[in-house]
Amino acid sequence: MPDRVDVVVVGAGPVGCALSLLLGTRGRSVLLLERHPGPYPLPRAVHFDDETARILQACGLGKDLPALSEPATTYEWRNGEGVPLLRFEMPAQGRQGWPSANMFNQPDLEARLFDRVKAAENLSLLWDHAAVDIGQDGDGAWVEIEPAEGGARQRVNAEYVVGCDGANSTVRDLLGVSFEDRGFFFDWLVVDVALHQPRVFDPPNLQVCDPRRPTTVVSGGPGRRRWEFMCLPGETLETLDEEAAAWAFLEPWDVRSDNATMVRHAGYRFRARWATRWHEGRIFLAGDAAHQTPPFAGQGMCAGLRDATNLAWKLDYALGHPQAAAILETYDSERIPQAAAVIEIATELGRVICIPDADEARARDEQMAPFVPPGGSTPAPPMPGISGGILTETALSGELFIQATVRAGAVEGRLDDVVGTGWHLVTSGQPPELDGELATWFESIGGRFVPLGTTVEDLEGRYGRWFADHAVTAVLERPDFAIYGTAPTDRDVTTLVAQLRDQLEAQQVSPVVS
Ligand SMILES: Cc1cc2nc3c(=O)[nH]c(=O)nc-3n(C[C@H](O)[C@H](O)[C@H](O)COP(=O)(O)OP(=O)(O)OC[C@H]3O[C@@H](n4cnc5c(N)ncnc54)[C@H](O)[C@@H]3O)c2cc1C
């Protein structure tokens, strides 16, 4: 075990693994700590979006994703009589170069993440050890580690510590951070099943808004199905969370022990809350440690991976420019409002579903009737952008840019695979010459020039259409795929890059150390 690293990451769930990999690819040394002796075997998340897919691509999993997941293109909600209330359509080709909705099995994804972590030279993964104390001073931060079986504690020093240690986070408790809690919670029984024979479910992803038993029936990734059953008033999870009860719930769906294997059944209570502060000096929170959401938008892990990708490039910048470490303040100002907005969306969806009262359900159905044109559909609610951080003030700043297929020389594929990840200055045509010093500075922060129509070919024409639709000639894309700013004409490109340099160099205040 190293005694000093750049970053200690506490908790090897998907968020801790992704953050470690994103730091590792930037050459940073990381100790990833996990209190369990090995990977957590039980499925939880079943959906990720195209932005998450692009983050996983940046973690090196791009080639694995097609086998690990299957696209979902519809998600239908019906009332107790089977009448459609909502039908979401999700494009098979999302804006980030991946299907906009992907169904998967979380342990399979985590296994691939662990493979990547183990293969990375500058990452150390320590199983079976829990973080039990943390602290910081002017020189850095430290974590005290204890073997799960007990024994001597050891201290590891680092520049930064990130608690990715889940909903019951030790790091959050030690920091004494409180929650903003929406007070919206329900108990559900989750049942994961592997069917012995392939079967077509129509619709493939269904929300049954039946007050007699609100139920979720969705893909659980290739070869698997997920059912979730709401615990009704007067019931307890203890009685519901029994194997016999789980099989009885599955019976109406023609799923029995002779045609399926139950992978697991588990009761859980979802919450709608977020930590009011996501960092204190050099110690940060990410993933479920920082926020927990109702599952109806399939966004808990996705939000956590957004934390990882936002924090990774900022930690990397702060490590390389300690005098400009105030950039880390923008982690809270950018991420908290966005995560809160996503939780609000999921809560609103949950308020439609979690209705166990027949009269209330009838009133809901009447209110929702206008949303169901026969055979029609509703676009899935868009995820909010970010604001309040490293951005310009143009209309598109903080929205996600796009990723499309390009060719550079003999290499063809998604943009990040062809030109690499990091800051992208994407221009339609040859970019105007930046003055030598500015170009060198841009490259020093990992900036890459993407001159479309010259050395980089826009194979699907998607970038060209995007530029035309938004009447711009260049986009400066951040390493987490958010638009830093746009240039309406070639003349504005130098100003855009210079603006970024000025803004990053202005982050002069050191983090507060308590
Ligand atoms: C039923 C269900 C359905 C869901 N569906 C979706 C979905 O469809 N889409 C989606 O995006 N999300 C979904 N989620 C949420 C998703 O599973 C979580 O958001 C995600 O697992 C959080 O990842 P994490 O890495 O932040 O935390 P975790 O996965 O909880 O990992 C935290 C890790 O930290 C370790 N740890 C804790 N304390 C310590 C310590 N002191 N020292 C060392 N290690 C420690 C833990 O052992 C654990 O391994 C769902 C969740 C549930 C329960």
Is it the case that residue 509 has pLDDT exceeding 70? no
Q: CB of 164 closer than 6 A to ligand 1?
A: yes
- Atom 29 of ligand 1, nearest CA residue: 13
Q: Is the CB of 40 under 6 A from ligand 1?
A: yes
Residue 142's pLDDT is 97
Most confident option among 80-89, 252-261, 425-434: 252-261
Q: Which atom of ligand 1 is nearest to the CA of 165?
A: 34
Q: How far, in Å, is the centroid of ligand 1 from the Cα of 166?
A: 5
- The closest residue, in CA terms, to atom 45 on ligand 1 is 11
- Quick one: average pLDDT of 392-399? 94
Question: 389: Cβ below 6 Å to ligand 1?
Answer: no
- For 132-156, write each residue's pLDDT tens digit: 999 998 889 999 999 988 899 999 9
pLDDT at 511: 45
| Ligand 1 atom 38 nearest Cα | 165
The torsion angle over the Cα atoms of residues 479, 481, 487 and 493, rounded to 10 degrees, is 20
191 lines ligand 1 (CB under 6 A): no
As a whole number of Å, the CA-based R_g of the chain is 24
Ligand 1 centroid distance, CA of 418 (Å): 32
The predicted pLDDT at position 337 comes to: 98
308 touches ligand 1 (CB under 6 Å): no
The pLDDT, as a whole number, for residue 432 is: 78
User: How does pLDDT run across 443-502, given as a tens digit for each residue?
Assistant: 999 999 999 999 999 999 999 999 999 999 999 999 999 999 999 999 999 999 999 999
Question: Does the beta carbon of 220 sit less than 6 angstroms from any atom of ligand 1?
Answer: no
Mutate to test the pocket of ligand 1, among 44, 75, 109, 145 (most ligand atoms within 8 A of CB): 44
Q: Is 113 in the pocket of ligand 1 (CB under 6 A)?
A: no
409 is written with which tokens? 């020389």
Q: By percentage, how much of the chain surpasses pLDDT 90?
A: 88
User: What is the C-alpha to C-alpha distance for residues 111 and 107, in angstroms, rounded to an integer?
Assistant: 6
Using the atom order of ligand 1, give the atom closest to the CA of residue 171: 41
State if residue 43 touches ligand 1 by the CB under 6 angstroms criterion: no
State the pLDDT at residue 371.
67
Each residue's pLDDT tens digit, 62-90: 999 999 999 999 999 999 999 989 889 99
- In order of 231, 267, 428, 485, the CA distances from 405 in angstroms are 46, 42, 15, 22
User: Ligand 1: which residue has its CA nearest to atom 18?
Assistant: 301
CA distance 503 to 497: 10
Residue nearest to atom 20 of ligand 1 (CA): 301
Amino acid at 107: P
pLDDT (tens digit per residue) in 290-316: 999 999 999 999 999 999 999 999 999
Average pLDDT over residues 113-128: 97
Residue 317: predicted pLDDT: 97
Ligand 1 pocket test target in 10, 128, 165, 271 with most atoms within 8 Å of CB: 165
10 CB less than 6 Å from ligand 1? yes
Locate the DSSP E strands across 61-197. Answer: 69-71, 74-79, 84-89, 101-104, 123-126, 129-137, 140-147, 154-163, 179-181, 186-195
How far apart (Å, rounded) are the C-alpha atoms in residues 41 and 107? Answer: 6
Establish whether residue 33 lines the binding site of ligand 1, counting it when its CB lies within 6 angstroms of any ligand atom. yes
Q: Whose CA is nearest to atom 17 of ligand 1?
A: 45
CA of 295 to the centre of ligand 1 (A): 12
Mean pLDDT of the chain: 94
What's the half-sphere exposure (Cβ side, CA atoms, 13 Å) at 287?
A: 24
Q: Please tell me if the CB atom of residue 13 comes closer than 6 angstroms to any atom of ligand 1.
A: yes
Is the distance from the beta carbon of residue 190 to the nearest atom of ligand 1 less than 6 Å?
yes
Q: Is the pLDDT of residue 322 over 80?
A: yes
Q: Indicate which atom in ligand 1 lies nearest the CA of residue 145.
A: 42
Measuring from atom 4 of ligand 1, which residue has the nearest CA? 45
- Closest atom of ligand 1 relative to the 286 alpha carbon: 26
Q: Is the pLDDT of residue 513 over 50?
A: no
Distance CA 76, CA 91 (A): 14
pTM recorded for the entire structure = 0.97
Residue nearest to atom 39 of ligand 1 (CA): 165
Measure CA 478 to chain center: 16
How many other β-carbons are positioned within 10 Å of the β-carbon of residue 165? 28
- Ligand 1 atom closest to Cα of 302? 11
Overall average pLDDT of the 205-224 stretch: 97
Residue 379: pLDDT over 60? yes
Closest C-alpha to ligand 1, atom 2: 44
- The DSSP symbol for 387 reads -
Task: Give the C-alpha separation, 282 to 7, whole Å.
Answer: 10
Nearest to 161 by CA among 180, 146, 147, 175: 175
* Ligand 1 geometric centre to CA of 117 (Å): 17
Contacts of 366 (CB under 8 A, 6+ apart): none
Residue 106 CA: which ligand 1 atom is closest? 17
Is 116 near ligand 1, meaning CB less than 6 Å away?
no
Instruction: Check residue 368 and report its DSSP letter.
Output: H
SS3 letters across 314-359: HHHHHHHCHHHHHHHHHHHHHHHHHHHHHHHHHHHHHHHHCCCCHH
Residue 159 has pLDDT above 90, yes or no: yes
Residues whose CB is less than 8 angstroms from the CB of residue 376 and which lie 6 or more positions away in sequence, other chains included: 87
Distance 149 CA to ligand 1 centre (A): 22
Does ligand 1 have an atom closer than 6 angstroms to the CB of 130? yes
**Contact, 69 vs 48, CB < 8 A?**
yes
Residue 412 makes CB contacts below 8 A (sequence gap 6+) with: 405, 406, 418, 459
Q: Which 3 state secondary structure label does DSSP give 498?
A: helix
What separation in Å is there between the alpha carbon of 52 and the centre of ligand 1? 15
Please give the structure tokens belonging to residue 437.
Answer: 């010093």
